[in-house]
């Protein structure tokens, strides 16, 4: 069965992308939105397999290291109050935790449970829905 919809996630906000339309149309999760109602009807009729979960991005080693390194001020403070050797040990721990072989990746996550929960609320006769 072909994918018709993709869930997109931006922080805590999710929407649905209609991948069959050109250009792809973003559908907000809104019970008053007719495109959202159509999405739910399509899933009820054709099954959850027509929906793809959100992308899950694993950052590369550079991004992960930058996020974990102490600020420059804290690093200089470490060198001044401890030793250069102590600073090197802290930096090495981060480098070891995120090796250069970690190039990052993007995978497809699971379809969120709210999709099936919303579809299950629909009556069995989805053809009769507006």
Q: Which pLDDT does position 1 carry in this prediction?
A: 66
Q: Which pLDDT does position 2 carry in this prediction?
A: 86
Q: What is the pLDDT of residues 111-127, one digit of tens each?
A: 999 999 999 998 876 55
Q: What is the pLDDT of residues 20-75, one digit of tens each?
A: 888 888 999 999 999 999 999 999 999 999 999 999 999 999 999 999 999 999 99
Assigned token pair, 38: 């159509």
Of 46 and 130, the structure prediction assigns the larger pLDDT to 46
Q: Which pLDDT does position 119 carry in this prediction?
A: 93
Q: Which pLDDT does position 127 carry in this prediction?
A: 55
Burial class of residue 39 in the structure, from the number of CB atoms within 10 Å of its CB (0-12 exposed, 13-18 middle, 19+ buried): buried
8 Å CB contact between 1 and 47: yes
Q: Which pLDDT does position 43 carry in this prediction?
A: 95
Identify the three-state secondary structure at position 93. Answer: helix
Q: Residue 23: how many CB atoms within 10 A of its CB? A: 6
């Amino acid at each position: 069965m072909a994918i018709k919809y993709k869930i997109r996630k931006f922080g805590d906000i999710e929407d649905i992308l209609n991948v069959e339309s050109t250009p792809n149309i973003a559908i907000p999760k809104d019970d008053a939105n007719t495109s959202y109602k159509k999405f739910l009807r399509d899933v009820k009729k054709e099954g959850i397999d027509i929906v793809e979960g959100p992308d899950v991005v694993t950052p590369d080693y550079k991004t992960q290291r930058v996020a974990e390194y102490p600020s420059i001020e804290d690093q200089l403070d470490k060198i001044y109050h401890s030793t250069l050797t102590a600073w090197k040990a802290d930096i090495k721990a981060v480098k070891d935790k995120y090796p250069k072989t970690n190039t990052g990746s993007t995978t497809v996550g699971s379809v969120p449970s709210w999709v099936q929960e919303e579809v299950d609320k629909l009556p069995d006769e989805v053809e009769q829905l507006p």
